[in-house]
Amino acid sequence: MGYVIALAGKGGTGKTTIASLIIRLIKEKKMGSILAIDADPNSNLSEALAVETKETIADVLDEITKDPAKIPVSMPKDRFIEYKVSGAIQEADGFDILTMGRPEGQGCYCYVNNVLRNIMSKLIKEYDYIVIDNEAGLEHLSRRTTRSADSLMVISDATLVGLKAAKRIKTISEELGIKIKKNFLLINSAAKEIEKEKLALTGLEYLGFIPFDPEIEKASLNGNSLMDLKEDALSINALRNILEIKL
Protein backbone atom coordinates (compact mmCIF):
# COMPACT_ATOMS: atom_id res chain seq x y z
CA MET A 1 0.00 0.00 0.00
CA GLY A 2 1.43 3.36 -1.02
CA TYR A 3 2.04 6.31 1.28
CA VAL A 4 -0.49 9.03 0.39
CA ILE A 5 0.36 12.71 0.83
CA ALA A 6 -2.61 15.00 0.11
CA LEU A 7 -2.11 18.74 -0.11
CA ALA A 8 -4.85 21.26 0.62
CA GLY A 9 -5.15 24.97 1.35
CA LYS A 10 -6.72 28.21 0.22
CA GLY A 11 -5.85 29.63 -3.18
CA GLY A 12 -2.49 31.33 -3.61
CA THR A 13 -0.64 29.57 -0.81
CA GLY A 14 1.61 27.57 -3.14
CA LYS A 15 0.11 24.10 -2.92
CA THR A 16 1.28 23.10 -6.38
CA THR A 17 4.75 24.46 -5.69
CA ILE A 18 5.07 22.40 -2.51
CA ALA A 19 3.61 19.30 -4.21
CA SER A 20 6.20 19.63 -6.99
CA LEU A 21 9.08 20.01 -4.56
CA ILE A 22 7.93 17.00 -2.51
CA ILE A 23 7.86 14.89 -5.67
CA ARG A 24 11.30 16.15 -6.60
CA LEU A 25 12.75 15.29 -3.18
CA ILE A 26 11.21 11.80 -3.07
CA LYS A 27 12.64 11.19 -6.53
CA GLU A 28 16.09 12.50 -5.58
CA LYS A 29 16.25 10.29 -2.48
CA LYS A 30 15.14 7.28 -4.56
CA MET A 31 12.54 6.35 -1.97
CA GLY A 32 10.37 4.39 -4.41
CA SER A 33 7.85 4.73 -7.23
CA ILE A 34 5.83 7.94 -7.33
CA LEU A 35 2.40 8.84 -8.70
CA ALA A 36 1.60 12.55 -8.91
CA ILE A 37 -2.14 13.27 -9.09
CA ASP A 38 -3.34 16.69 -10.17
CA ALA A 39 -6.86 16.75 -8.71
CA ASP A 40 -7.33 20.45 -9.44
CA PRO A 41 -9.59 21.31 -12.42
CA ASN A 42 -7.28 24.28 -12.98
CA SER A 43 -4.43 21.88 -13.71
CA ASN A 44 -0.87 23.19 -13.55
CA LEU A 45 1.05 20.51 -11.64
CA SER A 46 2.31 19.02 -14.89
CA GLU A 47 3.77 22.38 -15.93
CA ALA A 48 5.60 22.71 -12.63
CA LEU A 49 7.00 19.22 -13.18
CA ALA A 50 7.95 19.88 -16.83
CA VAL A 51 5.48 17.33 -18.19
CA GLU A 52 3.23 18.06 -21.17
CA THR A 53 -0.27 16.80 -20.42
CA LYS A 54 -1.51 14.63 -23.28
CA GLU A 55 -4.80 13.36 -21.86
CA THR A 56 -6.78 14.02 -18.69
CA ILE A 57 -9.59 12.21 -16.91
CA ALA A 58 -11.94 14.94 -18.14
CA ASP A 59 -10.80 14.30 -21.73
CA VAL A 60 -11.66 10.63 -21.35
CA LEU A 61 -15.11 11.36 -19.94
CA ASP A 62 -15.89 14.02 -22.55
CA GLU A 63 -14.90 11.64 -25.34
CA ILE A 64 -17.16 8.88 -24.01
CA THR A 65 -20.03 11.31 -23.42
CA LYS A 66 -19.86 12.53 -27.02
CA ASP A 67 -19.61 9.03 -28.45
CA PRO A 68 -21.05 6.34 -26.09
CA ALA A 69 -20.74 3.79 -28.91
CA LYS A 70 -17.03 3.57 -28.09
CA ILE A 71 -17.89 1.54 -24.99
CA PRO A 72 -17.62 -2.18 -25.85
CA VAL A 73 -20.91 -4.02 -25.46
CA SER A 74 -19.23 -6.66 -23.34
CA MET A 75 -17.73 -4.15 -20.87
CA PRO A 76 -19.56 -2.11 -18.17
CA LYS A 77 -19.25 1.65 -18.58
CA ASP A 78 -17.38 2.24 -15.30
CA ARG A 79 -14.89 -0.50 -16.09
CA PHE A 80 -14.24 0.92 -19.55
CA ILE A 81 -13.71 4.38 -18.08
CA GLU A 82 -11.23 3.02 -15.56
CA TYR A 83 -9.39 1.27 -18.38
CA LYS A 84 -9.20 4.50 -20.40
CA VAL A 85 -8.18 6.58 -17.40
CA SER A 86 -5.38 4.14 -16.61
CA GLY A 87 -4.12 4.83 -20.13
CA ALA A 88 -4.06 8.56 -19.33
CA ILE A 89 -1.34 8.06 -16.73
CA GLN A 90 1.83 9.59 -18.18
CA GLU A 91 5.32 8.35 -17.51
CA ALA A 92 7.86 11.04 -16.71
CA ASP A 93 11.45 11.07 -15.51
CA GLY A 94 11.27 9.28 -12.15
CA PHE A 95 7.52 9.52 -11.60
CA ASP A 96 4.11 9.07 -13.22
CA ILE A 97 1.39 11.72 -13.36
CA LEU A 98 -2.40 11.62 -13.68
CA THR A 99 -4.33 14.84 -14.35
CA MET A 100 -8.02 15.39 -13.60
CA GLY A 101 -8.56 18.27 -16.01
CA ARG A 102 -11.65 20.38 -16.62
CA PRO A 103 -14.71 18.85 -18.36
CA GLU A 104 -16.02 20.73 -21.40
CA GLY A 105 -19.64 20.55 -20.31
CA GLN A 106 -21.13 22.89 -17.72
CA GLY A 107 -22.09 21.75 -14.25
CA CYS A 108 -20.36 20.17 -11.29
CA TYR A 109 -17.42 17.82 -11.31
CA CYS A 110 -19.19 15.16 -9.25
CA TYR A 111 -18.87 12.39 -11.82
CA VAL A 112 -15.25 13.28 -12.59
CA ASN A 113 -14.45 13.20 -8.89
CA ASN A 114 -16.23 9.88 -8.43
CA VAL A 115 -14.15 8.32 -11.21
CA LEU A 116 -10.96 9.81 -9.77
CA ARG A 117 -11.85 8.47 -6.33
CA ASN A 118 -12.35 4.92 -7.61
CA ILE A 119 -9.17 5.00 -9.67
CA MET A 120 -7.14 6.34 -6.77
CA SER A 121 -8.28 3.56 -4.45
CA LYS A 122 -6.69 1.08 -6.86
CA LEU A 123 -3.61 3.06 -7.83
CA ILE A 124 -2.41 3.55 -4.26
CA LYS A 125 -1.68 -0.17 -4.19
CA GLU A 126 0.65 0.11 -7.18
CA TYR A 127 2.96 2.95 -6.07
CA ASP A 128 5.19 3.59 -3.06
CA TYR A 129 4.23 7.27 -2.86
CA ILE A 130 1.14 9.12 -4.08
CA VAL A 131 1.20 12.93 -3.95
CA ILE A 132 -2.21 14.54 -4.52
CA ASP A 133 -2.43 18.22 -5.39
CA ASN A 134 -6.04 19.08 -4.57
CA GLU A 135 -7.90 22.13 -5.78
CA ALA A 136 -7.82 25.34 -3.76
CA GLY A 137 -10.42 25.82 -1.06
CA LEU A 138 -12.68 23.29 0.62
CA GLU A 139 -14.91 21.97 -2.17
CA HIS A 140 -12.77 18.92 -2.92
CA LEU A 141 -13.19 17.86 0.71
CA SER A 142 -16.97 18.19 0.60
CA ARG A 143 -17.01 16.00 -2.51
CA ARG A 144 -14.58 13.63 -0.80
CA THR A 145 -12.18 13.37 -3.71
CA THR A 146 -9.66 12.53 -1.01
CA ARG A 147 -11.19 9.85 1.21
CA SER A 148 -8.04 8.88 3.09
CA ALA A 149 -4.41 9.91 3.39
CA ASP A 150 -1.40 9.04 5.45
CA SER A 151 -0.60 12.74 5.63
CA LEU A 152 -2.84 15.72 4.96
CA MET A 153 -0.51 18.65 4.45
CA VAL A 154 -2.40 21.93 4.74
CA ILE A 155 -0.48 24.76 3.09
CA SER A 156 -1.02 28.26 4.41
CA ASP A 157 0.55 31.67 4.17
CA ALA A 158 1.46 33.62 7.29
CA THR A 159 -1.82 35.53 7.46
CA LEU A 160 -4.57 35.01 10.01
CA VAL A 161 -6.99 34.39 7.12
CA GLY A 162 -4.77 31.58 5.87
CA LEU A 163 -4.53 30.01 9.33
CA LYS A 164 -8.29 30.15 9.80
CA ALA A 165 -8.75 28.44 6.43
CA ALA A 166 -6.31 25.75 7.55
CA LYS A 167 -8.37 25.16 10.68
CA ARG A 168 -11.57 24.87 8.62
CA ILE A 169 -9.95 22.27 6.37
CA LYS A 170 -9.11 20.13 9.39
CA THR A 171 -12.60 20.54 10.84
CA ILE A 172 -14.37 19.64 7.60
CA SER A 173 -12.16 16.61 6.98
CA GLU A 174 -13.08 15.34 10.44
CA GLU A 175 -16.80 16.02 9.98
CA LEU A 176 -16.78 14.11 6.69
CA GLY A 177 -15.01 11.14 8.25
CA ILE A 178 -12.00 11.36 5.95
CA LYS A 179 -9.41 8.96 7.31
CA ILE A 180 -6.19 10.86 7.89
CA LYS A 181 -3.32 9.51 9.97
CA LYS A 182 -1.41 12.79 10.32
CA ASN A 183 -2.63 16.37 9.93
CA PHE A 184 0.20 18.78 9.18
CA LEU A 185 0.47 22.55 8.74
CA LEU A 186 3.16 24.02 6.51
CA ILE A 187 3.61 27.77 6.19
CA ASN A 188 4.86 28.76 2.76
CA SER A 189 6.78 31.81 1.58
CA ALA A 190 7.14 33.29 5.05
CA ALA A 191 9.64 35.86 6.27
CA LYS A 192 9.95 34.40 9.77
CA GLU A 193 8.44 31.97 12.26
CA ILE A 194 4.83 32.60 13.32
CA GLU A 195 3.80 32.91 16.96
CA LYS A 196 3.05 29.52 18.52
CA GLU A 197 -0.30 30.80 19.82
CA LYS A 198 -1.53 31.48 16.27
CA LEU A 199 -0.30 28.12 15.01
CA ALA A 200 -2.02 26.28 17.86
CA LEU A 201 -5.39 27.67 16.79
CA THR A 202 -5.35 25.48 13.68
CA GLY A 203 -5.21 22.20 15.62
CA LEU A 204 -2.66 20.94 13.08
CA GLU A 205 0.83 19.66 13.76
CA TYR A 206 3.22 22.37 12.68
CA LEU A 207 5.90 21.22 10.25
CA GLY A 208 7.73 24.50 9.85
CA PHE A 209 7.93 27.26 7.27
CA ILE A 210 9.37 27.61 3.80
CA PRO A 211 11.07 30.99 3.35
CA PHE A 212 10.34 33.24 0.43
CA ASP A 213 12.53 31.98 -2.41
CA PRO A 214 13.33 34.39 -5.28
CA GLU A 215 14.23 31.38 -7.43
CA ILE A 216 10.64 30.11 -7.15
CA GLU A 217 9.33 33.53 -8.17
CA LYS A 218 11.76 33.63 -11.08
CA ALA A 219 10.75 30.17 -12.28
CA SER A 220 7.08 31.13 -12.08
CA LEU A 221 7.54 34.37 -14.03
CA ASN A 222 9.54 32.62 -16.75
CA GLY A 223 7.36 29.50 -16.90
CA ASN A 224 10.27 27.25 -15.90
CA SER A 225 9.95 23.87 -14.22
CA LEU A 226 10.57 23.59 -10.49
CA MET A 227 12.48 20.41 -11.26
CA ASP A 228 15.25 22.67 -12.61
CA LEU A 229 15.79 24.59 -9.38
CA LYS A 230 19.28 24.37 -7.94
CA GLU A 231 19.72 21.79 -5.20
CA ASP A 232 20.71 24.46 -2.69
CA ALA A 233 17.68 26.68 -3.36
CA LEU A 234 16.19 28.11 -0.15
CA SER A 235 12.84 26.40 -0.61
CA ILE A 236 14.30 22.99 -1.40
CA ASN A 237 16.72 23.06 1.53
CA ALA A 238 13.97 24.04 3.96
CA LEU A 239 11.54 21.40 2.72
CA ARG A 240 14.28 18.76 2.60
CA ASN A 241 15.01 19.29 6.30
CA ILE A 242 11.32 19.15 7.19
CA LEU A 243 10.56 15.96 5.28
CA GLU A 244 13.57 14.13 6.69
CA ILE A 245 12.23 14.71 10.19
CA LYS A 246 8.47 14.32 9.72
CA LEU A 247 7.71 12.03 6.76
Q: How confident is the model at residue 156 (pLDDT cuts 50, 70, 90)?
A: very high
Q: Whole-prediction pTM value? A: 0.88
> Mean pLDDT, the chain, as a whole number?
85
CA 92 to chain centre: 17
Residue 79 gets the label, from left (phi > 0), alpha (psi -120 to 50) or beta, of alpha
Give the separation between CA 146 and CA 49, rounded to whole angstroms. Answer: 22
Q: What is the pLDDT of residues 51-90, one digit of tens each?
A: 988 898 888 888 888 888 888 888 888 888 888 888 899 9
* Cα–Cα nearest to 182, from 41, 5, 25, 18: 5
The topology (CATH level 3) of 3-246 is Rossmann fold (3.40.50)
State the burial class of residue 82 (Cβ atoms within 10 Å of its Cβ: 0-12, 13-18, 19+). middle
CB 189 within 8 A of CB 208: no
Domain ranges of the chain: 3-246
Span 15-29, average pLDDT: 94
CB 138 within 8 A of CB 172: yes
pLDDT for position 205: 95
Fill in the DSSP letter of residue 122. Answer: H
pLDDT at 142 over 50: no
Three-class DSSP category at 132: strand
